[in-house]
Amino acid sequence: MIVVNDKMQTGYSYECQAPEGRHFAPDFKPELSPKEMLALGVFEGHYLTDCRAEFPSSWFDKAKISPLKPSVACNCFGIKSRMSLQQWQQRGWIIAPDPRGWFQWYCRYYAGRRIDDIDSLQIKRWKAFQRHKAQVFKNCMAYDFTCRKKQRQALLQWAYNPFF
C-alpha cells in the first residue's frame, strides 16, 4: 500500500497490482520509463520534488532536479515546453486521483497501480500525442535535434523517444 502525503495530495493511498514496469495494457507501449525521463530532463526539473518518497529512489539517481523552482536548464532540450498546472486544470486535463496530471498518472501506472477507467482515458490521451512524433519525423532531418525542440521536449514528457 502506497500512502501519499505531499503538497498537492494528502490521505490518498493506492495498492500496486502489477509489477513495476510490467503488465501494461496491450495498446500502451511507452518508449521511456519515468526513470529515463527524469534522467533526460523533464518538466524543468521541478515536477516530483515534493513527492519523491512515493516512488522508487532509483528513479532519482540521475534525475535532473531543480528543488527550489523550475529551471529550463534541467530540460533535455533546454527550453520551456509545458503549460502551467492552472492551464491544465482550466482545460479539464487533470483527472482525479492524479492532481499533477498525465506524468503523475504514468509514474503510478508504471509503479503498478491500475484503475481501469482512468487508465483507459490516459492511454487514449497518450496515443493521441503520437501525432507530434509524426510531425517531427516529417519536418526534421534525421538526428537534427535542433529541429522542433519544443515538440521534442513535449514528446519526451509523454514517454516518447524524441531522438530519431
Alpha-carbon gap, residue 109 to 151, rounded angstroms: 24
Alpha carbon distance 150, 134 (integer Å): 14
Residue 145 φ/ψ region, left for φ over 0, alpha for ψ in the -120 to 50 degree band, beta for the rest: alpha
Instruction: List CB contacts of 54: < 8 A, sequence separation 6 or more.
Output: 2, 4, 6, 107
Residue 147 inside a domain? The answer is: no
Q: How confident is the model at residue 161 (pLDDT cuts 50, 70, 90)?
A: very high
What pLDDT does residue 146 have? 95
Residue 86 lies in a domain: yes
Secondary structure letter of residue 39 according to DSSP: H
The reported pTM is 0.94
β pairing state of 2-5 and 10-14: antiparallel
- Kindly state the DSSP code that residue 42 receives in the 8-state scheme: -
Domain count, the chain: 1
Residue 159 inside a domain? The answer is no
Per-residue confidence band for 121, with pLDDT thresholds at 50, 70 and 90:
very high
> What per-residue confidence (pLDDT) applies to 131?
95
Q: Is 44 contained in some domain?
A: yes
Q: What is the mean pLDDT of residues 74-99?
A: 88
With respect to residue 144, please indicate whether it lies within any of the assigned structural domains: no
Question: pLDDT tens, 14-64?
Answer: 999 999 999 999 999 999 999 999 999 999 999 888 999 999 999 999 999
Q: Residue 16 belongs to what domain range?
A: 2-129
Would you say residue 154 lies in a domain?
A: no
At residue 151, does pLDDT exceed 90?
yes
